[in-house]
């Protein structure tokens, strides 16, 4: 797994690299909404003038695109890795994917939060929604395989299982904050234990 985003080439004024500008912009997008945030707001957040910010980025859409790529790359890799592991059963691969999705959400929380709020208001957002749709489709296929294999209950349609399972994972952005006593690994193990084994005492 990949806890830290890949380093980006430094450019611009001392004290700010592209990575920092991106982090702070994404925080601002999540706090006040992407559409309500202007390049001027981002400049102000960083203590830069509006013309200085254009030294770092061409547009706020470039920042949105970079954040959505960050979130989507992690999730796409989690699904692809699971699909390739043909030694494991579909149920084991599904469980590994759920756990890896939780870890990616924790490691890239602001970017994943932004991704989950995208509605398709621009070409960049529509492209991100299309990539999310492909991820959801791959997850639904994995659930279907696990049901067909006989490991999962067959009284609930696989696409409904998939929506509820990854709805639970996505709901973590509403309250989980890394750095507390609940580590991403412990959270991942709890989410998958409850999803697969249920709340009832065995």
Closer residue to a copy of itself in complex, CB, 21/188: 188
Residues 6 or more apart whose CB falls under 8 angstroms from that of 134 comprise 76
CB count in 10 Å sphere of residue 123? 10
- Compute the least distance from the CB of residue 201 to a copy of itself, in Å: 5
Which residue of 96, 109, 165, 188 would you call a contact of a copy of itself, by CB under 8 A?
Answer: 165
**Contact between 198 and a copy of itself per CB under 8 A:** yes
Closer residue to a copy of itself in complex, CB, 123/189: 189
CB count in 10 Å sphere of residue 184? 20
Q: Give Cα separations from 15 to 11, 53, 129 (angstroms).
A: 10, 13, 34
Between CA 99 and CA 27 the distance in angstroms is: 25
**Contact between 182 and a copy of itself per CB under 8 A:** yes
**Contact between 179 and a copy of itself per CB under 8 A:** no
Between CA 54 and CA 101 the distance in angstroms is: 34
Residues 6 or more apart whose CB falls under 8 angstroms from that of 39 comprise 50, 53, 54, 57, 59, 60
Among the listed ranges 5-13, 50-58, 106-114, 192-200, the one in contact with a copy of itself (CB under 8 A) is 192-200
Which residue of 38, 49, 183, 190 would you call a contact of a copy of itself, by CB under 8 A?
Answer: 190
Closer residue to a copy of itself in complex, CB, 57/91: 91
Angle ∠(113,119,122) on CA atoms, nearest 5: 110
Among the listed ranges 12-20, 38-46, 74-82, 187-195, the one in contact with a copy of itself (CB under 8 A) is 187-195
Closer residue to a copy of itself in complex, CB, 2/154: 154
Question: Do 91 and 146 touch, CB atoms closer than 8 A?
Answer: yes
- Site residues (vs a copy of itself, CB under 8 A): 33, 35-36, 91, 150-156, 160-161, 163-165, 167-168, 170-172, 174-175, 182, 190-191, 193-202
């Amino acid at each position: 797994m990949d806890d830290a985003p890949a380093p980006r080439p430094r450019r611009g004024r001392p004290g700010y690299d592209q990575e920092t500008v991106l982090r702070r912009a994404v925080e601002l997008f999540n706090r006040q909404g992407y559409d309500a945030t202007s390049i001027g707001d981002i400049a102000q957040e960083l203590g830069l003038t509006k013309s200085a910010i254009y030294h770092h980025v061409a547009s706020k859409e470039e920042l949105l695109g970079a954040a959505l790529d960050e979130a989507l790359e992690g999730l796409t890799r989690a699904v692809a890795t699971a699909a390739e592991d043909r030694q494991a059963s579909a149920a084991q691969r599904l469980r590994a994917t759920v756990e890896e999705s939780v870890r990616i959400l924790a490691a890239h929380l602001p970017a994943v939060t932004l991704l989950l709020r995208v509605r398709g208001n621009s070409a960049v957002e529509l492209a991100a929604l299309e990539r999310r749709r492909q991820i959801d489709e791959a997850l639904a296929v994995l659930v279907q395989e696990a049901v067909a294999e006989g490991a999962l209950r067959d009284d609930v349609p696989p696409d409904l299982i998939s929506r509820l399972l990854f709805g639970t994972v996505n709901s973590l952005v509403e309250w989980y904050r890394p750095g507390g006593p609940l580590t991403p690994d412990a959270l991942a193990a709890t989410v998958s234990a409850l999803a697969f084994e249920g709340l009832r005492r065995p």
